A and B are shown apart, each in its own frame.
Chain A
Amino acid sequence: MHRNLKTEILPEMQKGNIVKILLFCLVASISFSGNANDPQEHQAEGGTPHIDTKTEVQNYIDHHLQDAYDFTLWTDSETGEHVGFPLPVILIDEGLKIFSSSRFHHGESVAEVEGNYYKIHHNTIYKTNVAGDLSFDEEHHATNEKPLDFSITKNVFTILLTCILLFLLFGSLARSYRHKEIPTGIGRVLEPLVLYVRDDIAIPNIGEKKYRKFMGFLLTVFFFVWVLNLLGMTPLGVNVTGNIAITACLALFTYLITQFSGTKDYWKHIFWMPGVPILMKIILIPIELLGTLTKPFALMVRLFANITAGHVVIMSLIALIFVTDNLVMDGPISIFLTLFISVIELLVAFLQAYIFTMLSALFIGLAVEEHDHEHSETNEIV
């Protein structure tokens, strides 16, 4: 049955929407606990023909996973009312244009700014004419001009909030040491976490001598990722660490730090691997160079994929309630599964922050390692 479904949604795959497929599979396969064989049929049989529930759910989840120009807490789909607040849009298009996202009316209308017209289509701002007409190519991609977009989106806003939170929390921890040796209150929770990052992530991977230089980055990234992962589990509906731009940026930082702190040994092992024949040395150069890129790339994809998958699964399980026609039967199943996955996601939120920091520390450790004798890398990894 699963296989059937997959072939059925193949056309969709051509659009390359991995997230949609994943979600569709999940929603569809789980809904078999009901009585329908075919999702389309099921909708036809269901009593409410005016709402295409599955597409709606799918769109909703899709929308959630993306960034947004305004911070919407919830939407009443019947009245079309959005509860939330607008955020500033910053465009570079014939000069700097800053205006409130409320001018788009949640993407429903064209915003006029200093004689230019902008419209949101599929979460992207396009430059349009006064009527907001968009032209499409054969793949249904809008071909209108896109202005350079540096808006303070929902994700940027959340990041800023997280920064303030982190700064307040750890600033207070730092201040608490001025008066007493052992912190009280929230510091009592934060101190062991800082110690954990230092003793279980930084020191074992980088080494006692050099770890201190990288603690700023490692601690910041650890708590940044963790707090954002946790925020993603709140009903605020933010999905920051499940955005590839965010994870790419984090991974880029790790990459740059690794490369710039690389020792002579590190570069020697990349460009002229000791202890192997000359031919192998030449073959190994591109492989090793590629290796430096694949490491942060894996970091980027791992965090992105884990958090996105978690969000999709949880939202799909919640959506079970809306697509089922036997609420008494499927409601408790949905609630139980959601609870179950939520607990796992809580663990994943920590785990991914830990893994990201740990691997960053490991890569940095490999780069700053001093070789006493050739090929002693294993010593340090253990």
Chain B
Amino acid sequence: MEKLIQDFAYGLFFWQALILLVLIFLLRKYAWRPVLDSLDKREEGIKDALQSAENARKEMENLQADNEKLLREAREERDSIIKEARQIKEKMISDASTEAEEKANNIIVKAQETIKTEKQAAVAEIKAQVANLSIEIAEKVVQKELDNKEDQMKLVDGMLDNVKLN
């Protein structure tokens, strides 16, 4: 220890202090500052690039989400349209069938009425004809009755055979 203190090289200490001071100053100015600045700048650049990449990724994700949303909406719309169409179709079919039934019923009712009137007309005509025929028969029977009983009967039968109720 004593020797260390005794042999302490103050001259070396002096030069070292001076040189170190100058060295720190020079290196700071010509080396460390530009180096550290460039490193900072580069790191900043990398950070920015990463940030923008991240932003782009997020944007892409948003876009994708939007797309999916649109697609889903479109699908839903399609489904609802189809559903609606189906409902319309069914309604149309049912409407048509009720209408048709009604019409058919109307037709049938009308036909029945027509038939009824026709029938009444026919019956009336038959009645008229039968009345005429009966009168004719009765006229002829009355004319022959007087001649022969048997002939009378024959005549009546023959007439009845001819006259058929249509």
How far, in angstroms, from A141 to B76 measured CA to CA in the complex?
106
Contacts of B33 in A (CB 8 A): 174, 216
How far, in angstroms, from A194 to B13 measured CA to CA in the complex?
27
Q: Does B31 contact A (CB under 8 A)?
A: yes
- The B-contacting residues of A in range 303-342, CB under 8 angstroms, are none
- The B-contacting residues of A in range 169-205, CB under 8 angstroms, are 170-171, 173-175, 177-178, 181-182, 191, 194-195, 198
How many residues on A have C-beta within 8 angstroms of the other chain's C-beta atoms? 52
With contacts A152-B15, A177-B38, A246-B16 taken as known, whether A216 is within 8 angstroms of B1 at the C-beta atoms is no
With contacts A217-B24, A250-B20 taken as known, whether A16 is within 8 angstroms of B30 at the C-beta atoms is no
Q: How far is the CB of B6 from chain A (nearest CB, A)?
A: 8
How many residues on B have C-beta within 8 angstroms of the other chain's C-beta atoms? 35
Contacts of B19 in A (CB 8 A): 156, 159-160, 163
Contacts of A243 in B (CB 8 A): 9, 12
Q: Which of A16, A123, A245 contacts B16 (CB 8 A)?
A: A245
Q: Which of A16, A181, A194, A253 contacts B35 (CB 8 A)?
A: A194
Contacts of B45 in A (CB 8 A): 181
Q: Does B153 contact A (CB under 8 A)?
A: no
How far, in angstroms, from A148 to B22 measured CA to CA in the complex?
23
B6 and chain A: residue at smallest CB distance: A141
- The B-contacting residues of A in range 236-262, CB under 8 angstroms, are 243-246, 248-250, 252-253
How far, in angstroms, from A150 to B16 measured CA to CA in the complex?
11
A150 adjacent to B8 (CB under 8 Å): no
With contacts A18-B1, A245-B10, A249-B20 taken as known, whether A170 is within 8 angstroms of B27 at the C-beta atoms is yes
Contacts of A18 in B (CB 8 A): 1, 3-4
Contacts of A141 in B (CB 8 A): 6
Q: Does B161 contact A (CB under 8 A)?
A: no
A156 adjacent to B15 (CB under 8 Å): yes
Contacts of A173 in B (CB 8 A): 31, 35
A159 and chain B: residue at smallest CB distance: B19
Q: Which of A67, A178, A181, A249 contacts B42 (CB 8 A)?
A: A181
A67-B12, A155-B16, A167-B30 given; name 6 further pairs at CB < 8 Å: A153-B12, A177-B38, A181-B38, A216-B33, A243-B9, A245-B10
What are the 8 closest A-B residue pairs judged by CB atoms, nearest first?
A: A170-B31, A177-B38, A216-B28, A174-B34, A245-B13, A249-B16, A245-B9, A16-B2
